[in-house]
Amino acid sequence: MPEYRDDELAQALSELPVPATSADFYTRLRGRITRTRVRPHRWILTSRWTLAAALIAAAGLSVGGLALADAFGPLHGARLVINPSTLGGKNGISTCDLIGKPADQVAAKLTSSGIGIEWRFMHWGTSVAPTGKGSPTGITGGRTDVVSSVPNDSVVWDVSPDGQTKAFVFVQAPNDPNAPTISTGDCTS
Amino acid sequence: MGTNPDSTAETVARAQRGDAAAFEEIVREFDGGLRAFSHRVLGPGWTEDVLQEAYLRAFRSLAQYRAERGAFRSWLYRIVYRCCLDEQRRKRKRPLVWASSLEELPSPQTSESAVAARDDLWDALGMLSTEERACVILVDGLGFDYESAGTILDAPRGTVASRLNHARPLLRRALRESLEETEGEGHARIPR
């Protein structure tokens, strides 16, 4: 079926005025977004029980000292569920093969498949907060840095394809005390 | 549209991580087209409310957007279109005020014949169904291809084509008649 664009109409439609943006449009939007709270990219799920366990762990940490942190796992006991997706490139790599792996291995795999990399370094936040009615609890206060390279031992926690030839690779420090437990949703192995 | 897909993708990724400033960047980038779209689909008086709701909805749903499933621009237009339909459902309880729409907008410096043609085109748009109007605005007005327009409107490509086939002659007729009238009255191209 051939596609056709009516240039005469296009011209006429482009001349229709567009209502101006009100002076407080963005202020109102910002206010509503702030009240909505940030939802992380993927759901960072924390059940009541794990949250309670995290609180107990946090209390334990305050008594026992930070040296015990490793024994208790993440500070807030959160779990991050990543649903797998397939990247482009020659071999159609699944993110299941990349998540949890060191950055240098992931870089080699992606590069050999012709996929460019945009590195993002995640510093996980330290607190948990409700993200809205009926929504799971999320980790807040973290930040993502745009970086040109990352240490080889950084751990990949998510890969987000950007078209067929590029991917955003999100890494975290191997010893980030706030990093949630990564769980790859539908990965079989 | 003069957007750089790479920088948009990066901004989207930042917004997906909860960066509200990145989200505002996205909104500012696409707001012009979305504002025109919602105004022309719904008529006057609703644009700001619809866009506020749509942008908030987009912010909440950003995590669900995946680049491999389609262009971000289409994804955003789809949300705005759904908000338009929701608003229209609410609006049905109130009187429809499609007419005299353009009077409340700032009028650019333009000829009387162009103003008349614009008003007639606007009136003709008001005579189309919402779906037909949205089709013609997306394809002819904003340059979407049929496939993308279908994604936004949740309609097969063939339906997009058939809606366009119905809408275009009506709009073209309105433009032609308007031009003939103003030429007959000797108004052609007189700057205001």
Judging contacts by C-beta atoms under 8 Å, the chain A residues touching residue B150 are: none
Q: A173 vs chain B: nearest CA distance in angstroms? A: 17
Identify the top-confidence range among A54-58, A72-76, A144-148, B25-29: B25-29
Kindly list the domain boundaries of chain B, sorted by start residue. Answer: 1-97, 102-192
Q: Of A134-148, A159-173, B149-163, which range is least confident?
A: A134-148
Buried b (16+ CB within 10 A) or exposed e, A86-125: ebbbeeebebbbbbebbbeebbebbeebebebbbbbbebb
**Within 10 A of B48 (CB to CB), how many other CB atoms are there?**
18
Q: Would the pLDDT of A37 be above 60?
A: no
Per-residue pLDDT, A134: 39
Q: Which residue has the higher pLDDT, B131 or A40?
A: B131
| CA separation, residue A142 to residues A175, A178, B128 (Å) | 15, 9, 49
**Tell me: the pLDDT tens digits for A165-180?**
788 888 899 888 878 7
Contact assessment for residue A99 and residue A159, using Cβ atoms and an 8 Å cutoff:
yes
* ipTM exceeds 0.85: no
Tell me the C-alpha distance between A110 and A153, whole Å: 16
Q: Do B10 and A168 lie within an 8 Å CB cutoff?
A: yes
Q: Would the pLDDT of B42 be above 50?
A: yes
Name the CA radius of gyration of chain A, rounded.
22
B102-192 fold: Arc Repressor Mutant, subunit A (1.10.10)
Which among B47, B114, B146 is the nearest to A15, CB-wise?
Answer: B114
Q: B186 vs chain A: nearest CA distance in angstroms? A: 20
When the pLDDT of each residue in chain A is averaged and rounded to a whole number, the result is: 73
When scoring A24, A41, A42 by the number of chain B Cβ atoms within 10 A, the one with the most, hence best to mutate, is: A41
> Could you tell me the pLDDT band of residue A31, with boundaries at 50, 70 and 90?
confident
For residues A86-113, average pLDDT: 83
**Tell me: the pLDDT tens digits for A81-94?**
666 667 766 667 88
Domain B1-97 part of CATH 3.10.20.30:
no
When the pLDDT of each residue in chain B is averaged and rounded to a whole number, the result is: 81
For residues A26-48, average pLDDT: 65
Per-residue pLDDT, A63: 65
Per-residue pLDDT, B38: 93
